[in-house]
Structure 1
Amino acid sequence: MTATLTAPAPAPATSAGLSHRLGLWFAHAYVLGMCGTLAGAYFFQFGLGEYPCPMCLLQRMFFLLSAVGPAWIIARSRNGAVTTREFAAGWGWAVVAALIGSTVSATQVLMHIVPPDPGYAGALFGLHLYTWALIAFLAAAVAAGAALFLAPEAEPLDAGVASPALRRASAVTLAVLLAFAASNLVACFVLQGFHWQMPGDPTSYRLITDLL
């Protein structure tokens, strides 16, 4: 009497695999959120004609730096599984950059509180952009810290977690971040030109003014 062997049925997708994919999608949302914040700043600069001050540009830099951590996790997941150390390093970078950026924003807020003055540039819902930047930085630090806290459930340990949809999304997300980084560099250069220092209250694009 011979026994027949049957191939095991494929294992269904587990909730753990789903949580790992959600963790990777959250990294995408974080990066795009940082870029969306910069898009709002661009609207005030180019749409409303409000020139960013040096501290505003410094805050933009830290928004981009905070996005670099999860962007690195996204890029790493395209080539295989992400280790716990890599996952923690990416989100830890995001937390540190967001906290440093929040100190820059808080400093600018205090500069216009003591002594009290009308504040720099326009406002949105009664709050100036540097106040919104402080709120955004603190929210980003909390979000990145939550991702670190949930690392066992959120880190993409399996190379198969990066589904075709996630791989396509990763190319778009990384391209968007690169575009914002490049555009911010160009905007800073046009604003400052070839001068070593930028005025605290810029009133023109100095590169264009110098060329004309």
Structure 2
Amino acid sequence: MTPELSRTLNALGTLAVSLVLVLAYFYQLKLYELPCPLCLLQRVGFVSVGVGLGLNLLYGARARHYALMLLGALFGVSVAVRQILLHIVPGTGHYGSPVLGLHYYTWAAICFFLILLGTSIMLMFEKQYENGSTEQRFGGSTLAKVAFFIMLGLAALNAVSTLIECGPTVCADPPTSYKLIDELGNNN
């Protein structure tokens, strides 16, 4: 696999992770389904994967960037499986609306598994690491730049929306409103 193909695949992966986050924000902002603390931690896992992908886009493929992706996906899948196990017990209900019959945490577990599988496969191709130090940033790829900045914006949005939802303290479980907005409104 050439460095150019690797960069293209990493850009597509970044866009796929970005799509997952965009869909989560759609449910949060349009359908007013505030993410629970475990959902927010799953978003952290996706952002961590996005950081690893972004580093591959910015500096070229490196095993340590893939390692960051693997760690982020392992964290995310462990949180998603925990949430699945919390809701699998009869009578415990579920959290959020289903998408194609599955809830966000189930889709997150599937996505994290696919990220683990895809990243492991990408690690097998050593030619992608050639000429990495002499390449210009983003390898001159417009797709890589666009994917990187979309992911960067979504990571920043994740931090801001979590602060607005939870304030500077522990997030409510289940969340019922945007805590920071409520606190600012009560102070006026």
Aligned to 2:72: 97
Compute the TM-score of the two structures, normalised by the length of structure 2.
0.89
**Which of 139, 155, 161 does residue 181 from structure 1 map onto?**
155
Q: CA deviation at 1:114?
A: 2.4
Aligned: 1:126 with 2:126: no
For 2:146 and 2:5, the matched residues in 1 are separated by 17
Q: How does 1:46-125 map to 2 (within 5 A)?
A: 46-77=29-60, 87-125=62-100
Aligned to 1:153: 127
For 1:190 and 1:136, the matched residues in 2 are separated by 26
Aligned residues: 183
Q: How does 1:165-176 map to 2 (within 5 A)?
A: 166=141, 168-176=142-150
Compute the TM-score of the two structures, normalised by the length of structure 1.
0.80
Q: CA deviation at 1:171?
A: 2.5
Q: Secondary structure at the match of 1:138?
A: helix
Runs of 4 or more above 6 Å deviation: none
Aligned to 1:135: 110
For 1:149 and 1:126, the matched residues in 2 are separated by 35
Gaps of 5+ in 1: 1-15
Pairwise CA RMSD of aligned residues? 1.9
Aligned: 1:43 with 2:37: no
* Amino acid across the alignment from 1:123: P
Q: CA deviation at 1:105?
A: 0.1
Aligned: 1:203 with 2:186: no
Q: CA deviation at 1:40?
A: 0.7
Conserved? CA contact 2:8–2:144, under 8 Å? no
Q: Secondary structure at the match of 2:88?
A: coil
Conserved? CA contact 1:62–1:101, under 8 Å? yes
